[in-house]
Amino acid sequence: MGHPQPTTKKSMNQPWTIRKALFWAGGYLQAEDLPDHRLSAEVLLGSVLGLDRPDLVVLRDQSLDDTEWMVFQEKVLRRAEHEPIAYLTGKKEFWSLNFQVDPEVLIPRPETELLVEEAMRIFCSVPGPKILIELGTGSGAVAVALAKSLTHAEARPFLATDISRGALKTARENAASHGVGKKIQWIQGDWLKPFSSRFRWIDVLISNPPYVSEREMHHLPTTVKRFEPLRALFGGQDGLDAVRTILSQAAEQLKIGAWLLLEIGETQGKRILELAEQFHFHPSEILRDYAGKDRVLKACYHG
């Protein structure tokens, strides 16, 4: 099916109202087999007009100006190609906070909030300030959520790394917009390589590393596989390349009794527990998300 050419309201007999624009976009996206066609249309138009979805109903007879209509059409056409809504609107909610996102960063997922929850439990159960590092921070969602939630008494300034300069730029902007820019130090580098391994100094290490296996990559939704950064998804043939690297490096730099939290794939729990044991992490356990799927390795470094 061919895409309609953008048309301004000046060439139409009547202006495009919110109602008409949503009707056109919903129908077009449905014809392109988008399962969430109506929701997509509403979210995209709301982002163009700066309105919440309920406002679109109240103001349904309001007209779009030429620029608004052209921008909306362009976003709808991109959505028809399965580009993620978050990239089209430039934002995604995580931990009840809005984060700027772009194709340089993985879109934050609700299940990743389990990392934040568990880190909060660790910080609250062990007295005194602790040194925390997040590896592969991406948009900075996890680090910013923790910086917003923890007090100065619970945590020293956080450290967050990413190998992507573009991702760190986005993360810095998110931290600044949420007022925690001075609480997080951003470092470009590959996992723990930027840090010295000559002594043990880390209390809590957190990461949502790439863990999608070669086989699983073929079955990812188009919206993920075509648009989200491959380096943040692909974890090698079995999906565990980054996990092995992090476990190996962490075993050299974590304090005895320090904690490691890693997001994992839902089928990887048993193998990751075996790997954790090999690198002297115990006790260790696999935590399930709210869908009942294996989601996070929680492991204590025993030395």
Query: In the chain, what are the domain boundaries?
Result: 9-81, 95-301
Residue 3: predicted pLDDT: 47
pLDDT value, residue 156: 72
Residue 7: predicted pLDDT: 53
300 closest CA partner among 125, 111, 113, 108: 125
What pLDDT, on a 0 to 100 scale, did the predictor assign at position 9? 46
Q: What per-residue confidence (pLDDT) applies to 199? A: 73
So what's the pLDDT on residue 154? 65
Q: Is the peptide bond before 194 cis (omega within 30 degrees of 0)?
A: no
- CATH, domain range 9-81: 1.10.8
* CB within 8 Å of 223: residues ≥ 6 apart: 82, 83, 84
Looking at the domain covering 95-301, what would its CATH class be? alpha beta
- Cα separation of 56 and 42, whole Å? 8
Task: Beginning with the edge strand found earlier in the chain, give each strand of the sheet holding 202-207 in spatial order.
Answer: 184-188, 158-162, 132-135, 202-207, 254-263, 294-301, 281-288
Q: What is the pLDDT of residue 10?
A: 46
Q: What is the structure's pLDDT at 81? A: 96
Which residue, chain included where needed, has tokens 């103001």? 59
pLDDT of residue 168: 98
Which pLDDT score is estimated for 36?
93
**Can you list the residues of the chain whose pLDDT is less than 50?**
1-3, 5-6, 8-11
Q: Give 25-80 pLDDT, tens digit per residue.
A: 999 999 999 989 999 999 999 999 999 999 999 999 999 999 999 999 999 999 99
- Pair of tokens at residue 252: 């050299």
